[in-house]
Chain A
């Protein structure tokens, strides 16, 4: 009798301790620190992305000069060296005497703007199209997927070139061109996930209890597709930044005088590289670093959320 009372008390105490532990709230940064410890490269990638965002936001505060203000006397000044007028340009100047550091800082705005906009809009519209196509099937799916097949038949850059040719060169039209590519890629992948999730019994159960199709998609399919969408988003972000740089490199993207990393490589970097090699090296280094960081982050998020790898860890 005494033993059973003691064991009951111990059980109650352990239950209380468990409830207390569950009630204890972890700080908001706990997940981030845990992620950083498990995935240090991903954390570095995250820092790179945060730096890009910060640089874009505080560009007017940290740029030493106006990015579009020419200093003709100081043209083609080497990084760190004193110019003819005595000014110091940390990363040198271009063929018009514009400060390269300031142009690189302001160029981050274009890259971030294009990357985030194309991913947000493209992912949203692509996911809606993919989920609807995968859930509804029938004629809608048949027609929608033939359209997606047709758009995917174009090599990526070629599709963007055709769209920009139609609409004209410029930042907004580049965003439209890149977003179309993101929508079709996203819809194909999300459709695949929707088809497999639809087979689960909980979807049948939801239908059996009278849930509407919209509710099923919103409450049961979307939460299960969210993780791959986020992971794909990081891949597409990196790709969009490179795409914008490619279009600007070909003269069809961001137009002067707006600073763009790709355009800086093309018109200034190639033409003046013999006299000023930093004009070609630095913008390329910046693009590579940013895209590398975003890819590290995307890989880390994917590995962190992969249940197979989590078990192995």
Chain B
């Protein structure tokens, strides 16, 4: 197990290196001069002024040097400054990150609460109306675009009741109802998408486990359905589901992008979209790097927890 953990930790390093090179390289490939695109004043700046701005921003150095400078700052926890506002990106992310993480956590809780009973019920009552309804709900969850549901959820209440989500983040302790309204709907939409994927996998794993010999033995011993399903079947069926949950949660970080835009939630997703539209490339670079690091660490934790949940992995 220790060798497994060490191997996974070592494999993380090249992965993060690739991520950093891809992000850095891609944003340096943006066509046209970043300064000109940023300032939009190419015709009114003389070459000396342009050169001074580039030197100030470190853009006159060779690309490998720029990359090493950026990495050295990154390793010290310094994500740089916004090209537009000059504000520290660390400070910006500190303001926006809680919104995104709250949305992801709420979405995960809602998604898990929906997927577990639905997945178990559709497996237990396989090929019945419960199974068909459950599968229809699940496949709808992965087919219907969440941005469509979110759009309808924002606009119809505005039309019918004159109610719309607040534009600024509502603090829970100041206005619990307003906070729940602001986060509840996007979290529900996010959670529903997660539940759909989880439920399909849980149904498949439950069906496989229910076909196993030890389940037949448990029934032959005279154990009731509830004991068989909960104590024997679910525990084993959950192992792949939990590993999927870990990677799905990491992907939810990217899934919040559209919902934050539609619900005007001040999160990292909206921050990234705004930065793309305003061509604030240092912010885009930093945000994507932070999201990718979170994803890599979450995948690592999931891989390590897989060894803890499944003793066969631990003792292999």
- Complexed CA–CA distance, A287 and B151 (Å): 14
| Chain B CB within 8 A of A154 CB | yes
Given contacts A153-B296, A246-B258, A292-B140, contact A284 B148 (CB under 8 A): yes
| Chain A CB within 8 A of B106 CB | no
Complex interface residues of chain B between 5 and 27 (CB less than 8 A to chain A):
11, 14-19, 21-23, 26-27
Inside 8 A of A283's CB, which chain B residues have their CB? 148
Inside 8 A of B103's CB, which chain A residues have their CB? none
Indicate if the CB atoms of A154 and B288 lie closer than 8 Å.
yes
Inside 8 A of A273's CB, which chain B residues have their CB? 151, 155, 159
Indicate if the CB atoms of A150 and B273 lie closer than 8 Å.
no
Given contacts A153-B15, A157-B254, A296-B139, contact A250 B151 (CB under 8 A): no
Inside 8 A of B23's CB, which chain A residues have their CB? 162
User: Which residue on chain A has the smallest CB distance to residue B22?
Assistant: A150
Indicate if the CB atoms of B151 and A270 lie closer than 8 Å.
yes
- Give the number of chain B interface residues (Cβ < 8 Å): 52
Q: Is the interface of A mostly helix, strand, loop or mixed?
A: helix
Indicate if the CB atoms of B139 and A292 lie closer than 8 Å.
yes
Encoded as 1 (CB less than 8 Å from any A CB) or 0, chain B from 28 to 51 comes to: 011100000000000000000000
Encoded as 1 (CB less than 8 Å from any A CB) or 0, chain B from 273 to 289 comes to: 10011000100100010
User: Which residue on chain A has the smallest CB distance to residue B285?
Assistant: A162
Among the listed B147, B158, B296, which residue makes an inter-chain contact with A265, where contact means beta carbons less than 8 Å apart?
B147
| Chain B CB within 8 A of A229 CB | no
Indicate if the CB atoms of B143 and A246 lie closer than 8 Å.
no
Given contacts A162-B23, A274-B159, contact A250 B258 (CB under 8 A): yes
Indicate if the CB atoms of A158 and B272 lie closer than 8 Å.
yes
Complex interface residues of chain B between 129 and 177 (CB less than 8 A to chain A):
139-140, 142-145, 147-149, 151-152, 154-156, 158-159
| Chain A CB within 8 A of B295 CB | yes
- Complexed CA–CA distance, A29 and B27 (Å): 51
User: Which residue on chain B has the smallest CB distance to residue A285?
Assistant: B148
Indicate if the CB atoms of B258 and A157 lie closer than 8 Å.
yes
Complex interface residues of chain A between 141 and 200 (CB less than 8 A to chain B):
146-147, 149-151, 153-158, 161-163, 165-166, 168
Given contacts A270-B155, A280-B152, contact A147 B18 (CB under 8 A): yes
Residues of A within 8 A of B (CB): 146-147, 149-151, 153-158, 161-163, 165-166, 168, 238, 242, 245-246, 249-252, 262, 265, 269-270, 273-274, 277, 280-281, 283-284, 287-288, 291-292, 295-296, 299
Please list the 5 inter-chain residue pairs (A to B) with the smallest Cβ-Cβ separation, ordered nearest first.
A155-B254, A150-B18, A284-B148, A292-B143, A291-B143
Residues of B within 8 A of A (CB): 11, 14-19, 21-23, 26-27, 29-31, 139-140, 142-145, 147-149, 151-152, 154-156, 158-159, 250-251, 253-255, 257-258, 261-262, 272-273, 276-277, 281, 284, 288, 291-292, 295-296, 299
11 CB contacts below 8 A, A to B, read A150-B18, A153-B16, A154-B291, A156-B251, A157-B258, A161-B288, A162-B23, A166-B29, A265-B147, A273-B155, A295-B139
